């Protein structure tokens, strides 16, 4: 039963009466209001503009055909992802996935009652055949954050969400705080394709919560490509700003709308 199927949505509608929907960024009660007025300014400030693609000179992309993330991993975006990961708030991950569908793929989001539902994006299917979430590093929290983030994407792009395709090959040590070389050695071969039939010959959209060095996404791509995937593109809600230098504004007139269109993946 898909996340956005009628029975699932009906169940969540009942739950809304007891636990009203909250802002994923600050946790304030929102109900049927689409975006939180208190967070709008900061959320906009944390967007990576004008492009959301990751630069291969700043991230290790390995065999990935590319990667993108609409936000910098700071402020309320960082707090939202940490809440999704560590505070038993799977709904936060779904809400962030809705924002991802909107900002990275141009999906229009409509409220159905107190639930934001991403609308189908025409033609998006041409670029990908399936969505694969990065497997959970731990089973403790009972849900996988990238998988929850991928649910609205699957709805918006009308793609199958293959949650069983990729799994951990062996126990992975904690990544946070490690230098890049250690991270790379740590995750290389950390994932394996459990069902090659789901992957072979397919163009995969890989979903993660945060891309830091890129080592984890690259290791997933390695496993998927080895199993016969045609290509793997990674998308995440946020990425760590590696360069701290502010680029000067461009003097020449630009076509921001055209550039934005090009950046849609
Ligand atoms: Zn808020």
- For 36-77, the pLDDT digits (tens) are 999 999 999 999 988 999 998 889 999 999 999 999 999 999
Question: Residue 65: which of 245, 260, 163, 204 has the closest Cα?
Answer: 204
The structure's pTM equals 0.86
In tens, the pLDDT along 78-114 reads 999 999 999 989 999 999 999 999 999 999 999 998 8
Report which of residues 261 and 158 the model is more confident about. Answer: 158
Kind of pairing between the strands at 166-168 and 191-193: antiparallel
Q: What is the pLDDT of residue 260?
A: 43
C-alpha of residue 265 to centroid of ligand 1, in Å = 27
The pair of structure tokens assigned to 77 is 């975006």
C-alpha of residue 33 to centroid of ligand 1, in Å = 11
Which residues, other chains included, contact 114 with Cβ-Cβ below 8 Å and sequence gap of 6+?
13, 16, 20, 21, 30, 31, 32
C-alpha of residue 75 to centroid of ligand 1, in Å = 12
Question: Is the pLDDT at 258 greater than 50, yes or no?
Answer: no
Q: Give me the mean pLDDT over the 147-151 stretch.
A: 97
C-alpha of residue 11 to centroid of ligand 1, in Å = 25
Interior/surface letters 201-237, b for 16+ CB within 10 angstroms, e for the rest: ebbbbbbbbbbbbbbbbbbbbbbbbebebebbbbbbb
Q: What is the pLDDT of residue 15?
A: 83
d(CA 106, CA 74): 23
C-alpha of residue 244 to centroid of ligand 1, in Å = 26
C-alpha of residue 26 to centroid of ligand 1, in Å = 4
Q: Give me the mean pLDDT over the 136-153 stretch.
A: 87
C-alpha of residue 77 to centroid of ligand 1, in Å = 10
> Nearest 5°: phi and psi at 101?
-60, -35
Report which of residues 214 and 171 the model is more confident about. Answer: 214
Which residues crowd ion ligand 1, with CB under 5 Å?
Answer: 23, 25-26, 36, 38-39
Question: Is the pLDDT at 230 greater than 70, yes or no?
Answer: yes
C-alpha of residue 95 to centroid of ligand 1, in Å = 12
In tens, the pLDDT along 174-212 reads 667 777 777 777 777 889 999 999 999 999 999 999 999
Q: What is the pLDDT of residue 97?
A: 98
C-alpha of residue 240 to centroid of ligand 1, in Å = 21
Question: Residue 155: which of 98, 208, 110 has the closest Cα?
Answer: 98
C-alpha of residue 250 to centroid of ligand 1, in Å = 32
Question: Residue 27: which of 115, 95, 73, 121 has the closest Cα?
Answer: 95
Q: What is the pLDDT of residue 244?
A: 40
C-alpha of residue 83 to centroid of ligand 1, in Å = 13
Q: Give me the mean pLDDT over the 118-128 stretch.
A: 82
**Arithmetic mean of pLDDT over the chain:** 86
C-alpha of residue 192 to centroid of ligand 1, in Å = 38
C-alpha of residue 91 to centroid of ligand 1, in Å = 14
Give the rounded percent of residues in the chain with a pLDDT score beyond 90: 65
Which residues, other chains included, contact 84 with Cβ-Cβ below 8 Å and sequence gap of 6+?
24, 90, 92, 93, 96, 145, 148, 149, 209
């Amino acid at each position: 039963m898909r996340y956005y199927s009628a029975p699932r949505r009906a169940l969540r509608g009942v739950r809304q009466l007891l636990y009203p929907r909250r802002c994923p960024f600050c946790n304030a009660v929102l109900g049927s209001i689409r975006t939180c007025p208190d967070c709008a300014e900061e959320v906009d400030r944390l967007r990576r503009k004008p492009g959301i693609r990751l630069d291969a000179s700043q991230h290790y992309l390995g065999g990935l055909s590319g990667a993108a993330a609409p936000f910098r991993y700071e402020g309320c975006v960082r707090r939202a992802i940490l809440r999704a990961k560590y505070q038993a708030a799977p709904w936060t991950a779904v809400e962030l996935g809705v924002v991802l569908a909107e900002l990275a793929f141009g999906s229009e989001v409509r409220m159905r009652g107190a639930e934001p539902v991403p609308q189908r994006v025409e033609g998006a299917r041409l670029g990908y055949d399936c969505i694969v979430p990065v497997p959970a590093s731990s089973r403790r929290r009972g849900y996988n954050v990238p998988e929850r983030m991928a649910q609205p994407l699957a709805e918006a792009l009308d793609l199958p969400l293959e949650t069983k395709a990729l799994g951990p090959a062996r126990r992975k040590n904690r990544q946070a705080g490690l230098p890049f070389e250690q991270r790379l050695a740590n995750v290389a071969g950390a994932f394996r394709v459990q069902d090659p039939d789901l992957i072979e010959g397919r163009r995969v959209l890989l979903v993660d919560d945060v891309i830091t060095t890129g080592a984890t996404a690259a290791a997933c791509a390695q496993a998927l490509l080895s199993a016969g995937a045609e290509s793997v593109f990674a998308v995440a809600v946020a990425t760590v700003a590696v360069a701290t230098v502010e680029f000067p504004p461009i003097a020449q007139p630009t076509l921001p709308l055209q550039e934005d269109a090009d950046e849609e993946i």
